[in-house]
Chain A
Amino acid sequence: MFEEASEVFDNMFKSSFPLTFIVFIPAVLILVSPLPADAAHEFTVYRMQQYDLQGQPYGTRNAILNTEARTVEAEVLSRRCVIMRLADFSYEEYQKALRQSAGAVVIILPKNMSAMPQDIVQQFMELEPEMLATETVVPVYFAMEDDELLSIYTQTLTSSSSQGSLSAAEVLLHTATANGFQMVTSGAQSKAISDWAITSLEGRLAGVGGEDLPTIVVVAHYDSFGVAPVCSPLSVGFGYSLSLTRCLFRKSTGSVHNAYKRGCQRASSPDVKFSMVHKKINLADDMLAWEHERFGIRRLPAFTLSHLASHRLAQRASIMDARSVSPSSRHGAGEPPAGPHVDVQKLSRNTKLVAEALARVIYNLTEKGAPGDLQIFTEQMVQDEQLSAVVDWLTAQPRAAQLVDKDSSVVSTLEYHMGHYLKDVKRHYVRADKRDPEFVFYDQLKQTMNAYRVKPAIFDLLLAVCISGYLGVMYLAIQNFGLLYSVARRVTQPKVKSH
């Protein structure tokens, strides 16, 4: 058959050039065609932070992932992608996975963070800084849970566990029936973003007195910082400062003054407790604990308003800090934090309080002589809807420093808003030093991950054995087709005779 075939092809190619063309070009195209990717499931994953601060690396150092999925229950984790659910997450298992040189870690976050038990959330929040601080060679990803992902997780769980005490035949059957998943990220390797500019916005609200008046600086920063930058969505500081800007704009006629706590004390109502916490600035640390310490170093009196009693509390830098408006969320200005949620009502109350305190400082109403129940902002200064809209908008997008580009919508929208109430709105850019960068950010923070259903190599072997068996049977059947033919003939012969 093959000799005939080669003869035929020989004739074909000799006789006509176009035919060669038609046959060969598709053949070449088919041979070099890339492997297609129609994944069983495609989902978005958020990579753990990767940055260098003062030359010190933080977070995961890798972004590429192409390995088979396992859960922590599996015996061998080396060069496997370990999937964990937040509900079963523990630092020991995470460490175990990394020690066994796992290829990657994917942590599945629940869709509804507020439905999680508080202790798990709390525990994870405390782990986040530790995960960040240890330099991780393999990529660590976070994914939002959905039904498909959950089913992948359960299937992986069943195939990962229960392989200990089975017989060889059972294991063989197990491998044939169980589904494995190959996790593949589509993006490129993460690389340092060169010449990244961190944008700051500045605006002024000048008093009547002119240049010689003291200045109050009201500062808020992109305070969303979590273990995965793209998925750390919340910031309240922005909301505060925007609303404050608005309030002050309405009343901006007076002087400006240094900020002191007395104003706040005077303005505080009985249901909001207010206290001062003194903290020494630790100059040896890579990061300053609070934002005001930057001013403190320059010997400017400064403080940070926070509902957290200590800078070490995990809520400050957590991806668990998701926005959900629940009436039961209990944290106020002075109360201990109960849950990482934003209550717009509380936020509005606090904003009003801060504005009131600030106004007292500005108008010199902090002395004993001033009436205690004096209300400076008598009108509806803080509008809940507006505040809620601002917070909504802010929380809808990640604002970690390595994501807020100078052309990003966050910056331009904020600039627009500030320009509405303030004068001389300017942008300042901070860039790291070219030769000895203070900070380096890395890209590829958000990627698409594909989960392909795969079978182990042993399955193919098994399949090959089965197929060769089948082909053998087919061969025998075709060889002995004559038997069937003669049977048919014997059966039909009486019929023919009866005709």
Chain B
Amino acid sequence: MTLFHFGNCFALAYFPYFITYKCSGLSEYNAFWRCVQAGATYLFVQLCKMLFLATFFPTWEGGAGVYDFVGEFMKSTVDMADLLGLHLVMSRNAGKGEYKIMVAAMGWATAELVMSRCLPLWVGARGIEFDWKYIQMSFDSNISLVHYIAMAAVVWMFTRYDLPKSFRLPVTVLLALCVYKAFLMELFVNIFLLGSWTVLLVKAVLTGAISLCSLFLFVTLVHSN
């Protein structure tokens, strides 16, 4: 399509990040440099994950069209490294809980946006061929922003020393959900043979549910003591 189309997709992908950054008050904390650091940590963690995957998970050699459940499950287990990375970012920042969570999540999600979406958008949405997938990709990046904020919040709660015993289980479940969300989505797609728009919808709903749950837990935890 045209540069205009790329502009559309880019606006759809990027502006929610910008709005979130502005409205969440991060700009008042002068948090830009910290977000960049979080992004750098994201890069480092992804590099480690890639090295690990390439070393220990040889390419799946089963027949095409056959879904390798165990292999995919193991691979998404490696995404645990994201949790570690988020924790690392948050532990290096001093401040209130919300501030730490937002900085880590914003940096993380923005780094992901830049690294894994900008290039496909630039190359794909500007090409002659029209495809809905670039619009979908942009929506997907909005979803992943929410996802990372929820994930950072859950990690923050999990690493608190004063976490009540009754919170331990739901937080762990949410953590597991965050990590295995991509795997679950792939499973859905494989079992129910979903179309790309339905996948996006299911992803949005799932992410929304996870983030609502973590919001409630967070609110409870913050205001209980």
Contact = CB atoms under 8 A, between A and B. Distances in A.
Contact of B128 (A5, A37, A471): A37
Interface in A247-290: none
B185 interface: no
Q: How large is the interface on A (under 10, 10 to 19, 20 to 34, 35 or more residues)?
A: 35 or more
B20 A478 contact: yes
Contact of A488 (B11, B32, B219): B219
B216 interface: yes
Contacts of A492: 216, 219-220, 223
Interface in A438-487: 452-455, 457, 460, 463-464, 467-468, 470-471, 474-475, 478-479, 481, 484-485
Nearest to A481: B23
B8 A463 contact: yes
Nearest to A40: B129
Contacts of A5: 32
Contact of A460 (B4, B16, B19, B32): B4
B119 interface: yes
Contact of B126 (A35, A184, A489): A35
B33 interface: yes
B128 A182 contact: yes
B16 A471 contact: yes
B135 interface: yes
Interface string B99-129: 0000000000000000000010011101111
A33 interface: yes
Contact of A471 (B15, B24, B33, B127): B15
B220 to A, nearest CB: 4
A101 B23 CA distance: 55
Dominant SS at the B interface? Answer: helix
A478 B24 CA distance: 8
B11 A38 contact: no
A368 interface: no
Interface string A321-337: 00000000000000000
Contacts of B122: 30
Given A463-B8, A474-B15, A478-B23, A4 B32 contact: yes
A477 to B, nearest CB: 9
B217 to A, nearest CB: 9
Contacts of B123: 33, 36
A36 B124 contact: yes
Nearest to A495: B220
Given A4-B30, A492-B216, A35 B128 contact: yes
Interface string A486-499: 00110111011001
B145 to A, nearest CB: 10
B12 interface: yes
A470 B12 contact: yes
Interface in B1-60: 1-2, 4-5, 7-8, 11-12, 15-16, 18-24, 27, 30, 32-33, 36
B224 interface: yes
A475 B19 contact: yes
A8 interface: yes
Contacts of A464: 4, 7-8
A39 interface: yes
Contacts of A488: 215-216, 219
A25 interface: no
A327 to B, nearest CB: 43
B224 A457 contact: no
B73 interface: no
A50 B143 CA distance: 56
Contacts of B68: none
B197 interface: no
A460 B135 CA distance: 11
13 contacts: A1-B22, A1-B27, A8-B36, A454-B128, A455-B130, A460-B8, A463-B135, A467-B8, A474-B15, A474-B19, A485-B215, A493-B223, A496-B220
Given A38-B127, A452-B129, A454-B130, 15 more contacts: A1-B21, A1-B22, A4-B30, A35-B126, A35-B127, A35-B128, A36-B124, A36-B127, A37-B128, A452-B130, A460-B1, A460-B8, A468-B11, A478-B16, A478-B23
Which 4 pairs of residues, A with B, have the shortest CB-CB distance? Answer: A4-B32, A452-B128, A492-B220, A452-B129
Interface of B: 1-2, 4-5, 7-8, 11-12, 15-16, 18-24, 27, 30, 32-33, 36, 119, 122-124, 126-131, 135, 142, 164, 166, 215-216, 219-220, 223-224
